[in-house]
C-alpha cells in the first residue's frame, strides 16, 4: 500500500493505551524519565479524555484501603476469586493505591465527604465520587506530565496498535495505523508497557440488533492487550476467568451502590431473596461459599439458579431499600429532605457512570423510590482488573514476591522488555480504576529501570517492517481487489467483512464456550468442537476485508478478539473442574477440586505456533 506513509518514532519507553493504567504510567514515567533524560511516548487508539472503561465516568472508586489492613484486602481478593490470586501483586497495588486516590483528589476529582470531612464509603473498600469527569481529570494530569518533558514526552491519539515488534526474545516496539489518516506507524522502544484494556464482544451479547454495542464493558476495548502479549510469546494466566457482572437489565447500570450503600435486596418474582433461600448451596463451594462477602461469582450463581427454576425476573428492590432507610427517620420534614437526597443520589449513581440507565429509567417510568428494577447477569467479559483475572503472567515486586514469581523487573511479562498493567496483567483482580492507575505507575517505574539497565536495542531490518506493514494493511487490499465481484459489498465469496466475522466468533463462543444462550455451561465435548470451529474462523481471518480505515480497525479488533477467544477456550478445557460457578460451569466436571487449586497458564510459541498449557503453584503470603 504505497499511499500509506510510514512514520517511525523512536522512544525509550512506549506506553500502549491511554486508559487508567496508561495515565498512571505516563505520570510516573515522566517523573523518572526526567532524572535519566529518557523519552516517554504514549499511544491510544482513541482520545485519552474519554478512552477506555472510564470513558463515561464512574460513581465510585472501588479500591481505597483507608484504615483497613493490607492483609484483610489480600484475603478478600483471594477469597472472591475462589482461592486463585497472586498475593504479591494484589498487595503491591493495595499498599500504594491510596496515594493515587489522593492525587486524583488533588487534581480536582470531587470525592463525597461526610459531615466530619471523611470520604463517604460505599462498602469496606469502596468510596463514592462525583465521577462524571473522572477520566478527563486523570488524563489531563497524564498529558501535563508528558508535556513537562518537552521533546522527551509525547502522546499519540487515534492510532490503533496492531502488533508487537520483536527482536529475538525481546520486545522492542509496536506497529499500528492512524484511524483518521493513511499513515502506518512504527514505534521503536527500549521498553514497552501494554495497557490496552480487556475485551468485549467475544461472546454474543444480550443486546443485539438495534441495541448492538450496548454492553457493560466498553465496546472500544477488544482484546488488544491479550493479542499483543500472546503474539510476543508471553506466558498468560487465568485466561479461563471471565467476568460476568450482574447489572440493571438492558442498560447495564451499576448495582454496587444499591447493594452496599443503600443496602438493597435483590428478590425474585415471588419476593424471595435468593441469598437467603439458597444459602445451603454455598456449602458446596466451601471454604469460599462461607466467607464474607460471598464471592461475586457465587452471588451470581444463586441468582442464576432462581432463573433456571423459573422464578425470575429478578428485581433490585430499590423501593424497599429507600423505605427502609427513611423508616429510621422520625421527623416528617427531615424524612422528606432525606428522601429527596436519596433520590438524587440514586440518579447520580447512573448519571456519573452509565447515563443510558438513567435514560432507561426515565423512558420506562421508573421512580426508584416506588418501582423495583429488573437486574440480570450480563454476557462474559475479559477484565482482569475487576472481578475477572485474565492477563499476562508478570514478575512480582522484589521485596514481596516469592522466588517463583519474580524474574527481574516488576510487572515485566515473561518476554524481555514487555511490561503489563491493569487489565493487561493477570491474577491480580479487584484493582479497579485506582489500582489500575497505581499498577501503571509501578510498571512504568520498573520499565524505566529496565531502560536504564538495558539501553541497547538493535535496529529492526527494513524488510521486516515492510512485511508487517503489508500484513497490517492487507484487509484494504483484499477489499479493493475483490469488491466488484458481487453487487452487495457486504457479501462476497472472496472475503469476510469484520461485522460478519464478529458475529461468527460470537456464535461459536456463545454456543460452545458457555455464553448466555447455553446458560454459561460448557464441557470438554463442546469446547473441543468450539476449538475446531475456531480453526476454520482463523483461516477466514486471513481474508478479512476493509473498505476504509474504520473497517481496518474493525478487522484488527477481530483479529485481537480471536486470540483472546482461543486462549479462553484452551484454558477452560485445561482446568478440569468447576471453580467459578456463576461465571461458567463445566457440566462434565461439576465440582471444585483441591488438586486444581493452582493457576492455569498458557503460552503460544511464536516459533512453532503451538500452545503450551502450564500449571503454576499458588504461593499464599497470607492465610
Ligand atoms: O463498579 C488501545 N471499573 C470500576 N472501577 C472503579 O474504581 N469504580 C467503579 O465504579 C468501576 N466500575 C466499572 C469499571 C469498569 C467498567 C467497564 C464499568 C464500570 C462499566 C473498573 C475500571 O474502569 C478498570 O479497572 C480500569 O479502567 C482498567 O484500566 P486499564 O488501563 O487496564 O483499561 P482502560 O481504562 O479501559 O484503558 C484501555 C485503553 O487502551 C486503549 N486501547 N490503544 C491502542 N491500540 C489498541 N489496539 C487499543 N485497544 C484499546 C483504549 O482506548 C484505552 O485508552 S463498576 O461499576 O464495575
Ligand atoms: P459493582 O457495581 O457490582 O461493580 O460493585 C462495585 C463494588 O462493590 C465492587 O467492589 C464489588 O465487588 C462490590 N459489590 C457489589 N455488590 C456486592 C455485594 N452484594 N456484596 C459485596 N460486595 C459487592
Q: Is 556 helix (H, G, I), strand (E, B) or coil?
A: helix
Which numeric CATH code is attached to 5-55+133-242+381-453?
Answer: 3.50.50.60
Tell me which architecture the domain covering 465-617 has in CATH. Answer: Up-down Bundle (1.20)
Element (H, E) at 160: strand 159-167
- The angle subtended at Cα 138 by Cα 108 and Cα 554, nearest 5°, is 145
Question: pLDDT value at position 330?
Answer: 85
Q: Are strands 13-16 and 191-194 parallel, antiparallel or unpaired?
A: parallel
Nearest to 30 by CA among 445, 570, 397, 337: 445
Q: Which of 433, 580, 439, 429 is nearest to 76 (CA)?
A: 429
Q: What is the grid cell recorded at 15?
A: 506506553
Q: Within the chain, how many helices (H) and strands (E) appear?
A: 16, 21
**pLDDT for 415:** 98
| CA gap 48, 136 in Å, rounded | 8
SS3 151: helix
Tell whether omega for the bond before 287 is within 30 degrees of 0, i.e. cis: yes
Q: Is the CB of residue 83 below 6 angstroms from any atom belonging to ligand 1?
A: no
Dig out the grid coordinates for 188 from the structure. 521503536
Please, what is the angle between helix 549-574 and helix 462-482, to 10°? 110
| Coil, helix or strand at residue 52 | coil
Q: Which residue, judged by its Cα, is nearest atom 22 of ligand 2?
A: 293
Which pTM was predicted?
Answer: 0.98
**Distance (Å, whole) CA 84 – CA 241:** 10
Nearest CA to ligand 1 atom 55: 254
Closest ligand 2 atom, residue 275 Cα: 19
Ligand 1 mean position, distance from CA 52 (Å): 5
What span, in angstroms and rounded, lies between the C-alpha atoms of 522 and 527?
Answer: 7
Question: How much of the chain exceeds pLDDT 90, in percent?
Answer: 93
Question: Mean pLDDT per 10-residue run, the chain (623 residues)?
Answer: 88 98 98 97 98 97 97 98 98 98 98 96 95 98 98 98 95 97 97 98 93 91 98 98 97 93 96 98 97 97 98 97 90 89 91 95 94 97 98 98 97 98 98 98 98 85 93 98 96 97 98 97 98 98 98 98 98 98 98 98 98 98 87
Rounded Cα distance between 417 and 422, Å, is 17
**With a 6 A CB cut-off, is 378 part of the ligand 1 pocket?**
no
> Could you state, in order of their start, the residue ranges of all structural domains in the chain?
5-55+133-242+381-453, 249-377, 465-617
pLDDT value at residue 17:
98
pLDDT computed for residue 489 by the predictor: 93
3-state secondary structure 222-291: ECHHHHHHHHHCCCEECCCCCECCEEECCCCCCCHHHHHHCCCCEECCCCCCHHHHCHHHHHHHCCHHHC
Grid coordinates of 451: 531502560
b/e per residue 491-527 (b: at least 16 CB within 10 A): ebeebbbbebbbebbbbbbbbbbbbbebebbbbeebb
CATH of 249-377, one of 2.40.160.210, 3.40.50.720, 1.10.1200.10, 3.90.700.10: 3.90.700.10
Over its C-alpha atoms, the chain yields an Rg (Å, rounded) of 24
Report d(CA 362, CA 375) in Å as an integer. 16
180 a catalytic residue: no
pLDDT digits (tens, 9 = 90+) for 341-365: 988 999 999 999 999 999 999 999 9
- Minimum CA distance residue for ligand 2 atom 13: 256
Our answer to whether residue 247 is catalytic in this structure is yes
Indicate if 615 belongs to the active site.
no
Residue spans of alpha helices (H) in 40-86: 70-80
> Ligand 2 pocket, 254 CB below 6 A?
yes
Q: State the residue for C-alpha cell 454496587.
A: 256
Q: Provide the pLDDT for residue 29.
A: 98
Amino acid at each position: 500500500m504505497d499511499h500509506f506513509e510510514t512514520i517511525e518514532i523512536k522512544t525509550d519507553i512506549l506506553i500502549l493505551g491511554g486508559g487508567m493504567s496508561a495515565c498512571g504510567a505516563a505520570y510516573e514515567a515522566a517523573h523518572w524519565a526526567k532524572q535519566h533524560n529518557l523519552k516517554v511516548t504514549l499511544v491510544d487508539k482513541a482520545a485519552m479524555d474519554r478512552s477506555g472503561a472510564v470513558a463515561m465516568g464512574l460513581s465510585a472508586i472501588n479500591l481505597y484501603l483507608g484504615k483497613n489492613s493490607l492483609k484483610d484486602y489480600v484475603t478478600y481478593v483471594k477469597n472472591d476469586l475462589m482461592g486463585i490470586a497472586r498475593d504479591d501483586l494484589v498487595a503491591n497495588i493495595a499498599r500504594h493505591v491510596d496515594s493515587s486516590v489522593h492525587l486524583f483528589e488533588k487534581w480536582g476529582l470531587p470525592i463525597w465527604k461526610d459531615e466530619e470531612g471523611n470520604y463517604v464509603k460505599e462498602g469496606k473498600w469502596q468510596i463514592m465520587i462525583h465521577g462524571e469527569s473522572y477520566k478527563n481529570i486523570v488524563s489531563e494530569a497524564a498529558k501535563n506530565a508528558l508535556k513537562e518533558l518537552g521533546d522527551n514526552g509525547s502522546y499519540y491519539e487515534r492510532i490503533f496498535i496492531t502488533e508487537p515488534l520483536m527482536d529475538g526474545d525481546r520486545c522492542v516496539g509496536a506497529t499500528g495505523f492512524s484511524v483518521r489518516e493513511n499513515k502506518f506507524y512504527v514505534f521503536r522502544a527500549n521498553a514497552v508497557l501494554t495497557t490496552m484494556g480487556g475485551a468485549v464482544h467475544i461472546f454474543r451479547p444480550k443486546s443485539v440488533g438495534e441495541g448492538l454495542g450496548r454492553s457493560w464493558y466498553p465496546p472500544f476495548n477488544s482484546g488488544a492487550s491479550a493479542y499483543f502479549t500472546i503474539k510476543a510469546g508471553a506466558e498468560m494466566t487465568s485466561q479461563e476467568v471471565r467476568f460476568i457482572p450482574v447489572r440493571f437489565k438492558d442498560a447495564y447500570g451499576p448495582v454496587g451502590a444499591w447493594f452496599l450503600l443503600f443496602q438493597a435486596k435483590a428478590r425474585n418474582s415471588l419476593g424471595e431473596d435468593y441469598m437467603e433461600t439458597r444459602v445451603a448451596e454455598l456449602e458446596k463451594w466451601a471454604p469460599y461459599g462461607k466467607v464474607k462477602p460471598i464471592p461475586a461469582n457465587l452471588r451470581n450463581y444463586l441468582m442464576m439458579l432462581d432463573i433456571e427454576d423459573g422464578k425470575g425476573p429478578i428485581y433490585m428492590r430499590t423501593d424497599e431499600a429507600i423505605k427502609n432507610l427513611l423508616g429510621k427517620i422520625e421527623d416528617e420534614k427531615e424524612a422528606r429532605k432525606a428522601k429527596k437526597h436519596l433520590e438524587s443520589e440514586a440518579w447520580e449513581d447512573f448519571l456519573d457512570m452509565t447515563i443510558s440507565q438513567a435514560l432507561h429509567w426515565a423512558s420506562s417510568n421508573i421512580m426508584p423510590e416506588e418501582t423495583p428494577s429488573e437486574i440480570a447477569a450480563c454476557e462474559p467479559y475479559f477484565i482482569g482488573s475487576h472481578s475477572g483475572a485474565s492477563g499476562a503472567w508478570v514478575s512480582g515486586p522484589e521485596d514481596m514476591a516469592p522466588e517463583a514469581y519474580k524474574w527481574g523487573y516488576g510487572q515485566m511479562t515473561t518476554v524481555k522488555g514487555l511490561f503489563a498493567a491493569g487489565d493487561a496483567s493477570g491474577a491480580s483482580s479487584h484493582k479497579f480504576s485506582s489500582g489500575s492507575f497505581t499498577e501503571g505507575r509501578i510498571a512504568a517505574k520498573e520499565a524505566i529501570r529496565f531502560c536504564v539497565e538495558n539501553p541497547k536495542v538493535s535496529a529492526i531490518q527494513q524488510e521486516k517492517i515492510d512485511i508487517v506493514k503489508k500484513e497490517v494493511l492487507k484487509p484494504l487490499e483484499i477489499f479493493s481487489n475483490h469488491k466488484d465481484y458481487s453487487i452487495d459489498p457486504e457479501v462476497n465469496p472472496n472475503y469476510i467483512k469484520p461485522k460478519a466475522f464478529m458475529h461468527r466468533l460470537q456464535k461459536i463462543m456463545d454456543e460452545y464456550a458457555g455464553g448466555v444462550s447455553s446458560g454459561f455451561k460448557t464441557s470438554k465435548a463442546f469446547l473441543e468442537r468450539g476449538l475446531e470451529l475456531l480453526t476454520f474462523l482463523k483461516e477466514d481471518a486471513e481474508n478479512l476485508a476493509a473498505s476504509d480505515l474504520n473497517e481496518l480497525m474493525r478487522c484488527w479488533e477481530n483479529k485481537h478478539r480471536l486470540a483472546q477467544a482461543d486462549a479462553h477456550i484452551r484454558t477452560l478445557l485445561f482446568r478440569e473442574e468447576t471453580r467459578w460457578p456463576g461465571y461458567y460451569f463445566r457440566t462434565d466436571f461439576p465440582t471444585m477440586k483441591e488438586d486444581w487449586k493452582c493457576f492455569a497458564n498458557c503460552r503460544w510459541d511464536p516459533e512453532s505456533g503451538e500452545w503450551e498449557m502450564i500449571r503454576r503453584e499458588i504461593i499464599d503470603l497470607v492465610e
